[in-house]
A and B are shown apart, each in its own frame.
Chain A
Amino acid sequence: MAEVTLSGLSKAYGATQALRDVSLTIPDGAFVVLLGPTGAGKTTTLRLIAGLDRPDRGDVRIDGASVLNDTPAQRDIAMVFQQYSLYPHMTVRDNLAFPLRSPMIALPEDQIAARVAEVARVLRIPHKLDNKATALSGGEMQRVSIGRALVRNPRIYLMDEPLSSLDAKLRADLRIELKRIHAELGATFLYVTHDQIEAMTMASHVGVLDEGRLVQFGTPREIYEDPVSTYVASRLGQPRIALLPADAFGALATPPPGAAQIGLRPEHILQGEGAPATVHRLEHLGDQTRLHLTLGPHQIVTLADAHTALAPGDSLPIRPRNPLWFDARGNRLTAPQP
């Protein structure tokens, strides 16, 4: 179990600057999720910590000691990838035992058996131990590949979109399972995803990356409720935050000095009074209904009750309530204190 500190980390691949001056502390036992679209620098960060790539500048420290000159094996880190690669000719038991039989570790067989049994229990696959790896479902294979990381008891777990190739239901189950495993082990996790639900539900801390820069780091609640920019605000929340010109509501919401945009999440929109918006379309999602509204030239998506009586063409007055304000560059006004 370990604390990981990144300081001033930069990395370019040819002409592409993948990471720019990233500094970040992953506290011991934290579950940190790096969030951002394709190309934001998430996977690069993992690779630099794992030792698969060397940074151009900056340092990676684990428990205070720089690991830049250590090989990946010396860093004692386990990695789980999106594409699980199990040994198809081996049973689940042998797949799980494999890392422990490597020359560097080479545990006695009785200890290996105990560790494999323990991990199989945590992952709820003890009844599958004697199956061939290829006789498993996708979700079971991914659990085995996570299991292969867990048997080693490394200092840090790095996970690169481990759930993204699974179907929705299985993803939801494994989200809870990973969180439970994390709590049970008390281990340090660094997890990369572009799925906002995974970030919101599993993380103790979320780091938001934008073109190689770390733009905000905080609890999921801080990131959602106190975003520093329109970019961060757009990363979390479904429907996505509506961003309108600051004066879109006239006197109903007076912009503070310097405001160029008003940001409205569903909880920032009071329905039933204010400016007349028109219902353009409704999406019945079951537990709730998404309302697509037009207000003059602007589009706003907000939420309504699952059984709302509203229909396309209806007029619905709305007004902002404690909205978020952003300047012309997209930075939040009255940004949260660091």
Chain B
Amino acid sequence: MAEIVIRNLRKEFGAFTAVQGSSFTIADGEFFMLLGPSGCGKTTTLRMIAGLEIPTSGEILIDGEEVSRRPASQRDIAMVFQMFALYPHLNVRKNIAYPLVSQGVAKPEVASRVAEVARILRIEHLLDKGVGGLSGGDRQRVALGRAIVRRPKAFMMDEPLGALDAEFRETMAEELRALHDRMGATTVYVTHDQLEAMQMGDKIVVMNHGVVEQFGKPQEIYDHPATLFVADFIGSPAMNTLRFEGAAQSGATEVSLGGARIALPQLQEAASTQSLVLGVRPEHITLGETGDLRGQVLATEYLGTTQIITIETAFGPLKARASSGLPAHVGETLGLSFTAPKLTLFDAVTGRALRSAANAGVHHG
């Protein structure tokens, strides 16, 4: 159990700055996601929390204690990696018991803790098997067991599902989250997969080029991206971004997009530039016969319950999500309308979302 506070954390490797001044708080018992593309600094951040890297500057507080200069062994944190290394000559029971045995824990205590962990992970039937013959999922469970058995203050997981195939990954993701719900231990989880982050996380930090772009609950980040990077990174398909020239004054409730008037949440600040970007999620585009903004259907992608329709407009191609029952044919011209309360307006120069009645409470990086 632990609250982890990160303050102005920075890490330089020679001339390269991997993390430039991150600040965020991981509440006790949270399942916390560090999300971003490769090279964004998420793994470096995790390694600094775990004590595997010493920060260049900044603070890491675990339950109020500053630990950034302490060795990993004194932080009481367990790491789970993508490549799980088990001792091949030991059976499952001995693999799980290993960290306790090496700490000199008494035998009856070891036995009862291994039994408890096996029960939590539902691998009691495997305890006396060798690890060589186990499936990938069971090996991952044993590796988790070895982390859990120590009862650390927090778990650090670095893409633990990265090596698994798509179908199995889904199952393990659900299992990990259910495990967390049973144990309630603070978990920091690194991933580049936005869906995994949305699915499993209580909170998400989105990083890019060593900078925290946004920090918040998954739905809030999805609904109100703070930057164009987040708008593009979260969601599949990504948020549509329509670039246009126009004016955006504080108090405005609409913008003019090539003659089409588009209503949006009331702006609480003015743009510093004429270069603007309108952000629209695919499910907030309604297609019909009418609409000031028009476009031609380029492609349709059937997804079962829904379909993705790609439409060429004067502002570039847009993707709309619609019920798969909606007839849409490649080549036909349709009108588009947007769900006003769900729109975000960005300043194209800074890449930041303009503050509006809808996103005023959102935490920027």
Contacts and interface: CB of A to CB of B under 8 A. Distances in A.
Contacts of B219: 284, 286, 306-307
A285 B301 contact: no
Interface in A250-306: 265-267, 281, 283-288, 290, 303, 306
Contacts of A200: 301-304
Interface residues of A, number: 35
B305 interface: yes
Interface in A179-220: 179-180, 194-195, 197, 200-201, 220
A265 B305 CA distance: 9
A167 B237 contact: no
B213 to A, nearest CB: 16
B204 to A, nearest CB: 11
A119 to B, nearest CB: 21
Contacts of B321: 287
A237 B170 CA distance: 13
B109 interface: no
A220 B192 CA distance: 29
A84 interface: no
A283 B303 contact: no
A310 interface: no
A286 B304 contact: no
A236 B218 contact: no
Nearest to B324: A221
Nearest to B234: A286
B236 A168 contact: yes
Contacts of B238: 169
B167 A37 contact: yes
Interface string B220-243: 001100000000001111100000
A334 interface: no
A284 B222 contact: yes
A284 B181 CA distance: 16
A194 B165 contact: yes
Nearest to B199: A283
A285 B37 CA distance: 19
Contacts of A179: 299
A283 B305 contact: no
Contacts of B37: 167
B38 to A, nearest CB: 8
A140 to B, nearest CB: 16
B42 interface: no
A288 to B, nearest CB: 8
If over half of B's interface residues share one DSSP class (helix, strand or loop), that class is named, otherwise mixed; here it is: mixed
Given A286-B219, A287-B282, A167 B192 contact: yes
B166 interface: yes
A221 B302 CA distance: 8
Nearest to B221: A286
Contacts of A303: 305
Given A168-B236, A194-B165, A286-B222, A237 B194 contact: no
Interface in B288-334: 299, 301-305, 308, 310, 321, 324
B43 to A, nearest CB: 16
B301 A201 contact: yes
Contact of B199 (A266, A285, A306): A285
Contacts of A236: 304
B283 A287 contact: yes
Contacts of A38: 165
A267 B218 contact: no
B321 to A, nearest CB: 7
B352 interface: no
A176 interface: yes
B302 A201 contact: yes
A224 interface: yes
A266 B193 contact: no
B281 interface: yes
A195 B198 contact: no
A212 to B, nearest CB: 18
B163 interface: no
A287 B166 contact: no
A238 to B, nearest CB: 8
Nearest to A236: B304
- Give me the 7 closest cross-chain CB pairs, A-B, nearest first: A286-B222, A201-B301, A284-B219, A287-B283, A224-B304, A283-B199, A284-B218
Given A281-B181, A283-B198, 5 more contacts: A201-B302, A281-B177, A286-B222, A288-B283, A307-B219
29 contacts: A38-B165, A167-B37, A167-B192, A168-B194, A168-B195, A168-B236, A172-B236, A176-B301, A179-B299, A194-B165, A194-B166, A200-B303, A200-B304, A224-B302, A236-B304, A237-B305, A265-B304, A265-B305, A267-B305, A285-B195, A285-B198, A286-B198, A286-B218, A286-B219, A286-B222, A286-B235, A287-B321, A288-B283, A306-B223
Interface of A: 37-38, 167-169, 172, 175-176, 179-180, 194-195, 197, 200-201, 220-221, 224, 236-238, 265-267, 281, 283-288, 290, 303, 306-307
